[in-house]
Structure 1
Amino acid sequence: MMATGLPQYRPVPGGVLAGAAPALLPDPADDRIPGRGPVDGGRAPCGGPRRERSAPEEGILVTGCDTVTVALRHGLEAVDILRLRRACGAVHQSRNGSTLSFLVPAGTWETWHLPGSSCTAGALVPAATDPRWVLPPAGAGRAARPTDAWVLRSALCEAACTLTASGLGPF
């Protein structure tokens, strides 16, 4: 059964459906999780090994957080909603600027399923002074505070409705 206004996902030969919205496809150049490799078949895998790794030029892989990645416009709208609710944790932008990544509590990747987003185990956290932070880590020790996963899901759904109503959807 097809739902109107919702993205429909299905595997196709070659991995990417012709005419798919670029914002809904994973960014193959965005390799935040070391060892994950490029995205295969147009679909981003959720999960993977958790490991602690430090690379000064890239940041630190934090095993206490997972990463939810969404398209830039959708993510910015969700950030506005979360900031109004005073519920937004650390958020950073991808290297090429096409996506936003929200830090969420560890284990979220196991149950996360929201069309238009992907969830990955672990989080590569850039230095607190990195200019890609939309909402940088703050507080004692500049620790990155995660956003509650269910509050984020609610904000992303509300953001999709807002963008669709303003003619920038569907999501």
Structure 2
Amino acid sequence: MLHIDMATGSRTTATTAAPTATGPMAPDEEAAASGSPPGAEPCDVVTVPARQGLEAVDILRRGADQEAVGPVLHDGSCATVGFLVPPGTAEAWDVPGSACTQSDGRGFRIPAEPPASGSGWLLPPGDDTSVTDPAALRAALDQAARLIEAADNCR
């Protein structure tokens, strides 16, 4: 599963907790630590299996509000997809089959480059990029799960 180290902004597949800063950082220090410019938008990350995530991206991009989807990451093995969502989303995220990594205000921000070697942008951030709307993502993931189940039952 795609895990983002909120202290460094790197993606790993390890399940151990990352060390955290010993004290609060100023916004510019947080941005420098995350490799993002000052003022970049902070975010949490929702990870899902690639098949469901790719279907959800298609659903979101076909929807009336195409701005509902922000930057999307994929891991090197293409096993998972990560949607960048507003900070605090993890507190209430309960979609089965997915996980939401909380930034806890520790400075993970939308990076210009993928946060770890071997990962890549499925949908890269742009100059005016915002994060994915959590409500729209929840609905798209639910619809994607139903479509996948229906397709699998047709075999």
Fold agreement, TM-score > 0.5: yes
The amino acid that maps onto 2:132 is T
SS at 2:85's partner residue?
strand
Where structure 1 has 5 or more consecutive residues not aligned to the other structure, the ranges are 1-25
Instruction: Confirm or deny: 8 A CA contact 1:72 1:100 kept in the other structure.
Output: yes
Corresponding residue for residue 154 of structure 1? 139
Q: TM-score, normalised by structure 2?
A: 0.67
CA 1:31–1:121 in structure 2 vs 1: closer, same or farther (change >3 Å)? closer
- SS of structure 2 residue aligned to 1:133: strand
**Cα drift, residue 126 of structure 1:** 3.8
**Counting helix residues as a fraction of each chain, which structure ranks higher?**
2
What is the match of residue 92 of structure 1? 73
Quick one: distance in 2 between partners of 1:135 and 1:108? Answer: 20
CA-atom RMSD in angstroms: 3.4
What residue in structure 1 maps to residue 45 of structure 2? 67
Count of aligned residue pairs for this structure pair = 130
**What is the one-letter code of the residue matched to 1:65?**
C
1:136 matched to 2:120:
no
Identical-pair percentage = 38
Is residue 109 of structure 1 aligned with residue 85 of structure 2? Answer: no
User: Which TM-score applies when normalising by structure 1?
Assistant: 0.62
Task: Give the Cα–Cα distance (whole angstroms) in 2 for the partners of residues 79 and 98 of structure 1.
Answer: 15
Q: In the superposition, relative to structure 1, how do residues 114 and 83 fare at CA in structure 2: closer, same or farther (>3 Å)? A: same
